[in-house]
Chain A
């Protein structure tokens, strides 16, 4: 199969998968035991006012009509208006997504790069004190319960030592100060990112490091490494040019998917650090039965992951010349 045909077949599969996800999302939200009006209707609202709200949200229509309207709106790129924000869903996603991407995508790249680099080194120095120590540390931090670690770091570095802000993305004191320039604001955002990034780094780098270490160890036993050594190539070249690229193939696949999933953020991290991202919004919209927002967010993530899968497949073929479609 050539690449063009492969892309065509996979695109068809993606469309079908996406339609299934689209339908499943619609059904699952309606099956959920929550009432979308329970959050917006208050105790003093009359039955008539609630009926008006229902009509306004389109909840007075029969389910099959709601489904058809949902598909039609999707085809037209209309994701509707959030029940709670009274704002177009696209605007809400457009606001939250970059904030999530900034924190989680940056963190993912950092911990993956660190994990891969460290894993490579540990495999090279297998059995050394560095290997044992870092392997233990990687395992330990990988098993930390994220909320506990996050609160601990907030307490120590945010509250007790006062090195970092406790939460949020920016400080009003800096952003409201007319004398604050771009650099001050940029550094303020970085300052706020430090603790959540630290938590994400600590809980994730170990996984990459240990996987990379294992695959690297397997690669180092390959015949072509022996050949490279026999040719008298420097150790650094053997490690970095011959062993590491081959050993990193499974890690690259994992990284591609992690990057794709990084856009849905992490509800726990975002909640603890009051990071105004998509993860927190996703959980809240599901809990409150804000169908338009929750559906659009899930659809966006699903589309992103499906496309990322395709991209990873293609990249894989380029990285490994043995694979052809």
Chain B
């Protein structure tokens, strides 16, 4: 019983500890997971990228509008010489957080490390760079194997690491690579096969090298990573842009530091925001929380379109999905406005092309709008017309009702042009606990298609299982999925739809093959002139929206919440307020 009597005493002690003192002008940011690693070469999760954004810097960075690249570690615009296929630029004067100067040797070292060890996530952006030359401590020249337009948005926006910090581990990896290469070649493998096989161990060494205090050229420096609890970064007094004006923006940081706190579930994170335990939750919040948060005068909600999108994909290797008429009929039946209103609760916008509107430079301005401004009855008639003209027949022909999504007579027994019945089709989506919007969209599309006479079964499944079915096994008919942060460069169209990518692990899961598309896709990436490239990218979208390997569905809104009573100056960029500019601009609110 003594043990039980201790309860009230302990409780009283804890109650006395109820509130802890606040910690100066530290901005406290909530993350939903801990970074998996702070090794920038091995980090592949978004949580690490958020933290590392404040340390590792890039040669060029997007301006707050998200449209223009601003010289960041570089001091001027890059100069492209088409004759020599070189790009030359200069670097700012600056020092790493340990006081050693930042020079062109750091850039050369970074490029050589990435290309030699083919570091996943980076190599794709550097594999066409033949050589990087340090002309002097402040001048760098990139020699390209061929013109590649992705060099602007991807290569020159890659992070730069510190040579002196990584030199030793790179040398160890190099020795390992040479040893492995010798033994692989001795085993009879060709040079290229041997090289790929020999990379595994050195890569493991580089990407799993423990880093708890990443070097910094950025506005903040890692102070402490208390695993599972928080990450503390303090202001970098050596930050090259501290209190300077860059691209017309006066740069801070104006806070003493950043504390990242880890919350494993949204409910608690939202309570922490309301209570004032955190100042910003760096994670999109669901619309269900909006009303409650808006009622709190100390909380401000920011909303912006995400820089990705959701789509309905088809397996073009199978009938009837291999028929463009069938895909167009489905496009007429899918009411995107209805999805945006009913499922997204207007927190998003419909999408009619495969480049999201957050990328206005490359987003096709007038894509074909299947069914847009048509009544439901007109949509159904247009879908029927597409199929009838292609030779499809029904046992029971559907008749649309007047209310959207309703049928006076449900269709049944849809037959392929040859007379064979359309086989049962599966429609894969992630489950509702992963993404309720995608799951509900799948359910809705199933209903529309079934009533139209297409035998579709909606199958929600674990996201990683869906990826395996679609990308590795190609065992699917249709799927609702999405792309996240796509970045500004539109070359992902080549990755997603080029016939070369229709291979195991390739991103062309749909199996789309169009020689004309391939030709233009290859041409656009080698077109260094922006205007010419824009026209080619528009052409690609026109082809895709005619062939419809994907039906683009919608772009969800990114809803973010901050404590308005603590800090001000958050910068809204495409994709949200969680960006470097925000951390350079925010300052404690004057009371």
Is B208's beta carbon under 8 Å from chain A? yes
Complex Cα distance, B208 from A163, in Å, reads 41
Complex Cα distance, B483 from A176, in Å, reads 39
- Given A46-B495, A151-B267, A187-B17, decide whether A172 and B462 contact each other with a Cβ distance below 8 A: no
Is B469's beta carbon under 8 Å from chain A? yes
Minimum distance in angstroms from B24 CB to a CB of chain A: 10
Partner of B228, one of A46, A99, A187: A99
Complex Cα distance, B116 from A52, in Å, reads 13
Asked if B271 and A158 make an inter-chain contact with CB atoms under 8 angstroms apart, the answer reads: yes
Residues of A within 8 A of B487 (CB): 44
Those of B76-121 within 8 Å (CB) of chain A: 118, 120-121
Partner of B20, one of A43, A56, A86, A173: A173
- Given A43-B486, A45-B120, A50-B505, decide whether A35 and B467 contact each other with a Cβ distance below 8 A: yes
Asked if B14 and A190 make an inter-chain contact with CB atoms under 8 angstroms apart, the answer reads: yes
Asked if A49 and B124 make an inter-chain contact with CB atoms under 8 angstroms apart, the answer reads: yes
Beta-carbon nearest neighbor of B202 in chain A = A56
Asked if B275 and A172 make an inter-chain contact with CB atoms under 8 angstroms apart, the answer reads: no
Asked if A34 and B468 make an inter-chain contact with CB atoms under 8 angstroms apart, the answer reads: yes
Is A39's beta carbon under 8 Å from chain B? yes
Beta-carbon nearest neighbor of B199 in chain A = A52
Is B352's beta carbon under 8 Å from chain A? no
Minimum distance in angstroms from A176 CB to a CB of chain B: 6
Is A175's beta carbon under 8 Å from chain B? yes
Asked if A159 and B3 make an inter-chain contact with CB atoms under 8 angstroms apart, the answer reads: no
Asked if B268 and A272 make an inter-chain contact with CB atoms under 8 angstroms apart, the answer reads: yes
Complex Cα distance, B270 from A151, in Å, reads 12
Partner of A187, one of B13, B18, B39, B469: B13
Residues of B within 8 A of A36 (CB): 464
- Given A151-B267, A272-B265, A288-B464, decide whether A86 and B39 contact each other with a Cβ distance below 8 A: yes
Contact with B along A50-68 (1 / 0, CB 8 A): 1111111010000000000
Residues of B within 8 A of A38 (CB): 463-464, 467-468, 471
Asked if A168 and B229 make an inter-chain contact with CB atoms under 8 angstroms apart, the answer reads: yes
Contact with B along A177-205 (1 / 0, CB 8 A): 10000000001101100100000000000
Is B1's beta carbon under 8 Å from chain A? yes
- Given A173-B20, A280-B264, decide whether A113 and B464 contact each other with a Cβ distance below 8 A: no
Asked if A49 and B44 make an inter-chain contact with CB atoms under 8 angstroms apart, the answer reads: no
Residues of A within 8 A of B267 (CB): 151, 154, 272
Asked if A163 and B18 make an inter-chain contact with CB atoms under 8 angstroms apart, the answer reads: yes
Is B507's beta carbon under 8 Å from chain A? yes
Is B68's beta carbon under 8 Å from chain A? no
Asked if A56 and B121 make an inter-chain contact with CB atoms under 8 angstroms apart, the answer reads: no
Beta-carbon nearest neighbor of A174 in chain B = B20
Beta-carbon nearest neighbor of A158 in chain B = B271
Beta-carbon nearest neighbor of B125 in chain A = A44
Asked if B461 and A87 make an inter-chain contact with CB atoms under 8 angstroms apart, the answer reads: no
Asked if B272 and A164 make an inter-chain contact with CB atoms under 8 angstroms apart, the answer reads: no
Complex Cα distance, B15 from A161, in Å, reads 9
Is B465's beta carbon under 8 Å from chain A? yes
Minimum distance in angstroms from A168 CB to a CB of chain B: 6
Residues of B within 8 A of A45 (CB): 120-121, 124
- Given A35-B464, A44-B124, A49-B124, decide whether A173 and B21 contact each other with a Cβ distance below 8 A: yes
Complex Cα distance, B259 from A94, in Å, reads 25
Is B123's beta carbon under 8 Å from chain A? yes
Residues of B within 8 A of A163 (CB): 14-15, 18
Is A95's beta carbon under 8 Å from chain B? yes
Minimum distance in angstroms from B123 CB to a CB of chain A: 6
Is B296's beta carbon under 8 Å from chain A? no
Question: Which of B200, B210, B487 has the most C-beta atoms of chain A within 10 angstroms of its own C-beta?
Answer: B200
Residues of B within 8 A of A87 (CB): 37, 208, 210
Is A135's beta carbon under 8 Å from chain B? no
Minimum distance in angstroms from B69 CB to a CB of chain A: 17
Asked if B503 and A47 make an inter-chain contact with CB atoms under 8 angstroms apart, the answer reads: yes
Is B328's beta carbon under 8 Å from chain A? no
Partner of A85, one of B37, B263, B471: B37
Is B232's beta carbon under 8 Å from chain A? yes
Is A128's beta carbon under 8 Å from chain B? no
Complex Cα distance, B462 from A110, in Å, reads 37
Is A297's beta carbon under 8 Å from chain B? no
Contact with B along A19-46 (1 / 0, CB 8 A): 0000000000000111111111111111
Beta-carbon nearest neighbor of B20 in chain A = A173
Residues of B within 8 A of A58 (CB): 200
Asked if B271 and A159 make an inter-chain contact with CB atoms under 8 angstroms apart, the answer reads: yes
Is B226's beta carbon under 8 Å from chain A? yes
Asked if A47 and B501 make an inter-chain contact with CB atoms under 8 angstroms apart, the answer reads: yes
Asked if A176 and B204 make an inter-chain contact with CB atoms under 8 angstroms apart, the answer reads: no
Asked if A81 and B204 make an inter-chain contact with CB atoms under 8 angstroms apart, the answer reads: yes
Is B4's beta carbon under 8 Å from chain A? yes
Complex Cα distance, B15 from A190, in Å, reads 12
Asked if A172 and B263 make an inter-chain contact with CB atoms under 8 angstroms apart, the answer reads: no
Is B197's beta carbon under 8 Å from chain A? yes
Residues of A within 8 A of B226 (CB): 170, 172, 175
Is A141's beta carbon under 8 Å from chain B? no
Residues of A within 8 A of B11 (CB): 194
Complex Cα distance, B109 from A114, in Å, reads 62
Minimum distance in angstroms from A24 CB to a CB of chain B: 20
Beta-carbon nearest neighbor of B120 in chain A = A49
Asked if B118 and A49 make an inter-chain contact with CB atoms under 8 angstroms apart, the answer reads: yes
Is B369's beta carbon under 8 Å from chain A? no
Complex Cα distance, B229 from A85, in Å, reads 16
Asked if A191 and B17 make an inter-chain contact with CB atoms under 8 angstroms apart, the answer reads: yes
Complex Cα distance, B123 from A159, in Å, reads 47
Is B484's beta carbon under 8 Å from chain A? yes
- Given A163-B18, A172-B261, A191-B17, decide whether A52 and B208 contact each other with a Cβ distance below 8 A: no
Residues of A within 8 A of B20 (CB): 171, 173-174, 188
Complex Cα distance, B205 from A88, in Å, reads 11
Complex Cα distance, B120 from A40, in Å, reads 10
Is A271's beta carbon under 8 Å from chain B? yes
Asked if A47 and B506 make an inter-chain contact with CB atoms under 8 angstroms apart, the answer reads: yes
Asked if B120 and A52 make an inter-chain contact with CB atoms under 8 angstroms apart, the answer reads: yes
New A-B contacts (20) at CB < 8 Å, excluding given A49-B120, A52-B199: A33-B464, A35-B472, A47-B501, A49-B118, A52-B118, A56-B199, A114-B3, A155-B271, A162-B18, A163-B15, A166-B272, A166-B275, A166-B277, A168-B261, A168-B263, A172-B23, A173-B20, A176-B224, A187-B17, A270-B264
Cβ contacts A to B, 28 pairs, < 8 Å: A33-B468, A34-B464, A35-B467, A38-B464, A41-B120, A43-B495, A48-B118, A48-B123, A50-B120, A52-B120, A52-B199, A52-B200, A55-B199, A86-B39, A95-B227, A113-B3, A158-B275, A159-B275, A166-B268, A169-B228, A171-B20, A172-B229, A172-B232, A173-B23, A194-B11, A274-B268, A276-B34, A276-B229
Hey, which bits of chain A sit against chain B, CB under 8 A? 32-56, 58, 81-82, 84-88, 95-96, 99, 113-114, 117, 151, 154-155, 158-159, 161-177, 187-188, 190-191, 194, 270-277, 280, 287-289
A-B pairs, 9 with minimum CB distance = A276-B228, A34-B464, A38-B467, A35-B468, A33-B465, A86-B42, A86-B208, A274-B264, A172-B230
